[in-house]
Amino acid sequence: MINELKREGILLFNKGKNKTSFQAINEKKKKINIKKIGHSGTLDSNATGLLVVGLGKSTKLLKYFIHKSKSYSAQIYFGLQTETDDSAGLVINRYNGFIDLKNIKNELKKFKGKIQQIPPDYSSIHVNGVRSYKLALKKIKPDLKARTVEIYNYKIISFKYPVLTVNINCSSGTYIRSLARDLGTFTGYFAYLFSLKRTKIDFFNIKKSYTIDEISHGDYKIISPFNACKDFIPIEIKEEFIEKLKNGVPVSENWFKKKQNIKKDNDLLYKIHFRKNLLAILKYNNGNFIYDLVY
């Protein structure tokens, strides 16, 4: 069981295969006996790897991690295309010729940077109020629009015919299934995503995550709310102004402890704390600090 001192913060969870993110989180919720839990960034049922999980009040912080960059280790199988663009679907196209790694490398280069990508038919995106996969299951072709995503970097790890293993760092919203499908189309070989593991979300790393078994046995550490907001500018507040802050009273810089070199920028977020206990997230706008979240 999770103890009272561990009811808030961020827990890095290593999701197993054949469970949706919701199922995996719900299982963990029961294991650690906590009422409020949520995650940032869904993984497909067949995918494994990192989920950033908020516990208790820290579910409020998840909105700051949803749009962060993601890193994956992907295996792409060439020579076949499936209806789901992964190993779960029926084969709909085959290529029986030679698969040339040089051709794959040349075509993969075209995906680096900002690209237009159409999500898989079997996805959770809403199409006229209906989940895309529900239409696909009824053999109705979903009208999915192309979206701008970005592949920041990739690194080919190996090619064991006909499977390419590649590490990918990309923007939030990128479908690696679509990348596999489109790479298969560009090369003329057809392809689907054979396996996928998410290894990073921003600075959160799978190396510091925990499986459901480890969590069940209490073998895990939780990242404090203050430390989870790693890139936010810290500002410590004087103790006598904590209640005003919690009550949403307009912020005065007189509340801040002295001798803090605070960089003021409209594009930055500020974590307000007392002795590294997170109290609020502020923005800076038109010369004033304004609330974004009261913790």
DSSP-derived secondary structure letter, 43: -
> Cα 204 to chain center, whole Å?
10
Question: How far is 162 from 225, CA to CA, in rounded Å?
Answer: 44
Amino acid at 249: V
Question: How far is 21 from 38, CA to CA, in rounded Å?
Answer: 10
Q: Taking the chain, what is the end-to-end CA distance rounded to the nearest angstrom? A: 25
Task: Tell me how many degrees the CA angle 109-115-116 measures, rounded to the nearest 5.
Answer: 135
Active site residues: 44
Q: In 138-271, which ranges are continuous DSSP H helix?
A: 176-187, 212-216, 225-228, 242-246
Instruction: Count the alpha carbons within 13 Å of 192 in the hemisphere toward its beta carbon.
Output: 20
Q: How buried is residue 259: exposed, middle or buried, by Cβ count under 10 Å (0-12/13-18/19+)?
A: exposed
Quick one: which of 188, 15, 34 has its CA closest to 98? 188
